[in-house]
Structure 1
Amino acid sequence: MTVESVPAEVSARAAGADGSRPAPRGLGGVVTMMGSGLSNQVGAAVGSLAFPVLGPVGVVAVRQYVAAVVLLAVGRPRPLGFTWRQWWPVLLLAGVFGTMNLSLYSAIDRIGLGLAVTLEFLGPLTVALAATRGRVDACCAVIAAAGVVTLMRPQPSADYVGMGLGLLAAACWASYILLNRTVGRRLPGAQGAATAAGVSALMFLPVGLVVVGRHPPTLTAVGCAVAAGVLSSAVPYLADLFTLRRVSAQAFGLFMSVNPVLAALVGWIGLGQGLEWTEWAGVGAVVAANGLSLAARRD
């Protein structure tokens, strides 16, 4: 949400495309993937600038509104024709979608962008490792576990609430991927994801009203929140639709694995959230585990 967001819906479709024919690769696809990843993390960083005024809840509410506008425009769902069998996973997806972004942004507020995104990325990694039982996957699980232990090792300055929120975001992302597969089988195109985004936005509507009533927002704070929605929802979603036509699903997933590194770099350069060498090692271990797992599936 990074991975951790609307692009997670795209990555879920890619994760379920193991049997599809790889699309031709090109420089345009690589550049677009890089731009999508950077946009996602820069959007989260910009959104965090509005935390002092709106708080993570207010920023996530605005982001949900932007995501709903984008997905409803693209998916053009017809919810009045849905059956209950189609509705129930959509409603669950809406709840997971909102909880995922709220827990991630709350984690960013407490432990920084790089560590929060790294912990969240354990969600799709767990889904990938759970699908197989090979030796490579066992090795990847050990590497990822070592990275998590490094990141969450006891120390006086450790924020375990923030880390717990990051792990909650990971659990939500894993649930998001599995629910997306169900929704994708029961509804055509992006109708399910679009409806879920719309329902999630409605759920956050009273939250936004409460935030505005208690803490009147400044124009700058609202601008940062809207920018977060555009950069972390609209731009990555549209960019990933372009990318998946030009690179294989495996290559797309492999590139997605570098998002924790991008998040750490954006947090360091843009927000001054420096990491210790041990934390960089933990981030690297999680990225390496995901990359190794995906590379093994390409053989």
Structure 2
Amino acid sequence: MALMLVSGLSNQTGASIAALAFPVLGPVGVVAVRQWVAAVVLGAVGRPRLRHFTTAQWRPVLGLALVFAAMNLSLYAAIERIGLGLAVTLEFLGPLAVALAGSRRRVDLVAAVAAAAAVVVLTRPTPSTDYLGISLALLAAACWACYILLNRTVGARLPGLEGSAAAAAVSGALYLPVGVWVLWHHPPTATALGCALAAGVLSSAVPFLADLLALRRIPAHFFGVFMSVNPVFAALAGLTLLGQQLDALAWLAIAMIVGANTVAVSTAHRPTTHRSTT
């Protein structure tokens, strides 16, 4: 329990700290630094033998690398526009969709209807509704769903963490040109660079290691249920560190989506895939 608490709080605290660097580096610059940190961490742990990969192994790895790159960028861009709590909550629709796909159980239908109603509440039109931010968060959700499906294929074709490590390395390499360009044209302050590096450590290294240790001690379905409270952690981190206020309806919608995720994961009869922290 303590390891999962550390993982969730570290991940969302890292995301909120990353937002502090947006005015200087922008989401692209922060994501680039985070991807480089993730590549180093996963590379050291997974130690992928790239020269031994076959074409059939490289295909899903490259797909996973593109998903890594798009997921983090779309999420951070959404955080900049609509806030941490709402962005992470909408992103959680990705694993929920995977959990509910193809299910004909009544409980899953109820969970899907509840999640859909919560999305309507979160995206309700107001004079200041940021539809681009909402769309970016939904893109992150789609990327997360693709990550789950691709990660299953990568896990089946490559041993251990080699596939994830290789995908993180490729994703980090993809961000080299744009990351260097951003850092060159927007020289980072020491504070902004420190925030970006801290985000990489808190949102990649710490959760990855904590999740790895936790999954050795608890059932995967319990881990999946606990992961569902991340939107709450995100909303609290956004409130305490960034001053991002949510109204009562937004909190109710977050609770509904967390509940839908919890029901779908805890009652599923198939293995649950946890999120990568890259």
> TM-score by structure 2 length?
0.96
Q: Which is worse superposed, 224-233 or 286-295?
A: 286-295
Counterpart position of 2:190: 219
Q: For residues 159 and 218 of structure 2, what CA distance do their matches in structure 1 show? A: 23
Q: For residues 221 and 297 of structure 1, what CA distance do their matches in structure 2 show? A: 42
Q: Describe the superposition over 1:154-179 as per-residue Cα deviations: whole angstroms up to 9, x where unpaired.
A: 11111000000000000000000100
Counterpart position of 1:244: 215
1:111-122 to structure 2, matched below 5 A, reads 111-122=82-93
Structure 2 residue matching 1:297: 3-state secondary structure: coil
> How many angstroms does 1:81 deviate by?
0.9
1:45 is aligned, of 16, 38, 60, to: 16
Structure 1 residue matching 2:267: 3-state secondary structure: helix
Counterpart position of 1:169: 140
Counterpart position of 2:273: none
> How many angstroms does 1:293 deviate by?
1.5
Give the paired residue count. Answer: 270
> How many angstroms does 1:295 deviate by?
2.6
Q: For residues 246 and 197 of structure 1, what CA distance do their matches in structure 2 show? A: 26
1:58 is aligned, of 29, 48, 54, to: 29
1:209-288 to structure 2, matched below 5 A, reads 209-288=180-259
Runs of 4+ that moved beyond 3 A: none
Structure 2 residue matching 1:119: 3-state secondary structure: helix
Q: Which is worse superposed, 196-205 or 284-293?
A: 284-293
Q: Identity across aligned pairs (percent)?
A: 65
Structure 1 residue matching 2:268: 3-state secondary structure: helix
> How many angstroms does 1:131 deviate by?
4.4
Which letter maps to 1:206? P
Counterpart position of 2:275: none
1:188 is aligned, of 159, 171, 189, to: 159
Counterpart position of 2:111: 140
Q: For residues 239 and 189 of structure 2, what CA distance do their matches in structure 1 show? A: 26
Q: Describe the superposition over 1:62-118 as per-residue Cα deviations: whole angstroms up to 9, x where unpaired.
A: 000000000000100011111110001100100010100000000000000000000
Q: Describe the superposition over 1:232-276 as per-residue Cα deviations: whole angstroms up to 9, x where unpaired.
A: 000000000000011111110000000001100110111100101
Q: For residues 295 and 220 of structure 1, what CA distance do their matches in structure 2 show? A: 41
Q: For residues 55 and 97 of structure 1, what CA distance do their matches in structure 2 show? A: 18
1:106 aligns with 2:77: yes
Which letter maps to 1:118? T
Q: For residues 60 and 27 of structure 2, what CA distance do their matches in structure 1 show? A: 26
Q: Point out where structure 2 has 5 or more consecutive residues left out of the alignment.
A: 270-278
Q: Describe the superposition over 1:15-62 as per-residue Cα deviations: whole angstroms up to 9, x where unpaired.
A: xxxxxxxxxxxxxxx011011100000000001100000000000000
Q: Describe the superposition over 1:193-242 as per-residue Cα deviations: whole angstroms up to 9, x where unpaired.
A: 00000000000000111101211111111100000000000000000000
* CA-based RMSD: 1.1
> TM-score by structure 1 length?
0.89
Q: For residues 285 and 211 of structure 1, what CA distance do their matches in structure 2 show? A: 39
